[in-house]
Amino acid sequence: MDRDNHFDFFHYDKCDLCGECFYRCQYLKFNKKTAVEEMKKLIEGKPSKVLKKCISCNACNNFCPHGCRPYELITRRWHKRYRRNGLPVRAEYLMPSTTSNFRTDMVNRMSKREQELVETWYKTPPEGELVLYPGCNTLALPHLLDASFMEGVVIAGDWQHCCGEMFFRMGLYDEVKRTAEKLTGYYEDKSIGTMLFPCPACLNMFTNVLPEQFGAEFKFKTKYLGTYLLEKIEAGEIRIDREFNQKVTLHDSCHARILGEEVMEGARQILEYTGVEILEMELNKEEGLCCGIAAGANRYSPFDIVFSSFKELWQGQKTGAREFALYCGGCNITFNLCRWFFPTRQPIRHLLDYLKEACGESGYNPSQKRSKFMLFNILVKSFPRLLSNKTFWISRG
């Protein structure tokens, strides 16, 4: 048995080997018998086909009827691999811990207004009844929060206080633990009532992963920005001036599946208030596919990310909808990057882009154009290192 208790989050005592987790996985394509056999192998610490095919979408945690956390049986193996081998250098430019990375390098491509926003959020102390944590992805696309409906909310955050989601997905548990300690220390003496999160990934990290699994302690409440906005729309405090009257399809994020209906249904309700008709994909909500970014966690392969992203873009295309909507900042960046290789006609738009425009505000959306520069930087700084055998550890100790 693979039981050294170190970062061991799987509930062995609750698992009845029903196989439901891997049977329902959209990527493994196992029948029930194989699902059970492969689960046994994982529990016993043996090689398993799951370790080769898993794209780290996290959905199996949702599928388990007993809350056993099968996903962490997989990522724990990657944690051990990282401890042993480190990461290939091609991944360095993509890590949030690298000072100059694919997201921070976008600042000098932003409009003056966006640069001022990032600078202001960086300097603003995170204190107040309602504080918003932008997270790395919204810092790379700050126009999303440049809206009248954000009045009364203190937006405060910087690249140094990343939520650690990327480390968690890759099984870099030592780095997640360090993130939990750093964030606990940073927010310890800050007076915050409720922290709002525009990104489901940051919300899940602060609400569930960091406190429950990595010992973080936060005194503030956490809330999805969409829930806050929906309450304001329903109270008549946000006025919708324009209705879109068009058909869109909607992509759900992996973390939203964990957070549940409040996030997934909340996003749908806001979109419907803007007048759009949602054409659901064949695989949606709990059974939906990942944007592709998590697929890089297994083999650190950019090709796995791109091909995985294509699968979901194709799902969207098949609905016949005019546009492809989403509500996670990370998915927004990934799809905009990958669509340069996929011939979809559907424009990709964030939920906040729709809401801003429906409120009569600017339709300025630099996501697609900015992703071109992002892709260029990744090609220049990561691709030449694709064949290198060199490795690195983010921090050792």
Binding stretches for ligand SF4 (CB under 6 A): 15-22, 25, 27-28, 39, 50, 54-60, 64, 66, 68, 70-71, 74
The span from the CA of 6 to the CA of 76, in Å, is: 9
Partnered with residue 277 across adjacent β-strands are 247
Strand partners, 247: 277
Angle, CA of 346, 347 and 349, to the nearest 5°: 130
Task: Tell me how far, at minimum, the Cβ of 59 lies from ligand SF4, in Å.
Answer: 4
Nearer to ligand SF4, 73 or 374 (CB): 73
Q: Which is nearer to ligand SF4, 68 or 351 (CB)?
A: 68
Q: How far is the CB of 174 from ligand SF4 (least distance, A)?
A: 20
CB closer to ligand SF4 out of 147 and 281: 281
**Phi then psi for 363, rounded to 5 degrees?**
-90, 15
In degrees rounded to 5, what are phi and psi of residue 334?
-60, -50
Which residue type, as a one-letter code, is found at position 373?
Answer: F
Cβ-contact 282, 318 below 8 angstroms: yes
Shortest Å, Cβ 382 to ligand SF4: 24
The b-or-e profile of 10-25 (16+ CB within 10 A means b, else e) is beeeebeebbbbbbbb
Minimum Å gap between C-beta 293 and ligand SF4 is 13
Residue 72: CB minimum distance to ligand SF4, A: 10
Decide whether 157 or 171 has the Cβ nearer to ligand SF4.
171
Strand ranges in 117-168 using DSSP code E only, listed in sequence order: 128-132, 154-155
Q: How far is the CB of 305 from ligand SF4 (least distance, A)?
A: 14
CB 325 within 8 A of CB 354: yes
For the chain, the helix, strand and coil percentages under 3-state DSSP, each to the nearest 5? 55, 10, 40
Which residue's structure tokens are 């071109």? 372
Burial of 220 (0-12, 13-18, 19+ CB in 10 A): middle
Nearer to ligand SF4, 70 or 134 (CB): 70
**Shortest Cβ 19–ligand SF4 spacing (Å):** 5
Of the pair 55, 162, the CB lying nearest ligand SF4 is at 55
15 or 145: whose CB is closer to ligand SF4?
A: 15
Least Cβ distance, residue 139 to ligand SF4 (angstroms): 27
Asked if 127 and 190 touch (Cβ cutoff 8 Å), the reply is yes
Residue (22 or 159) nearer to ligand SF4, CB: 22
Cα three-residue angle 362-366-369, rounded to 5 degrees: 150
Provide the 10 A C-beta neighbour count for residue 235.
8
Nearer to ligand SF4, 170 or 271 (CB): 170
Minimum distance from residue 255 beta carbon to ligand SF4 (Å): 12
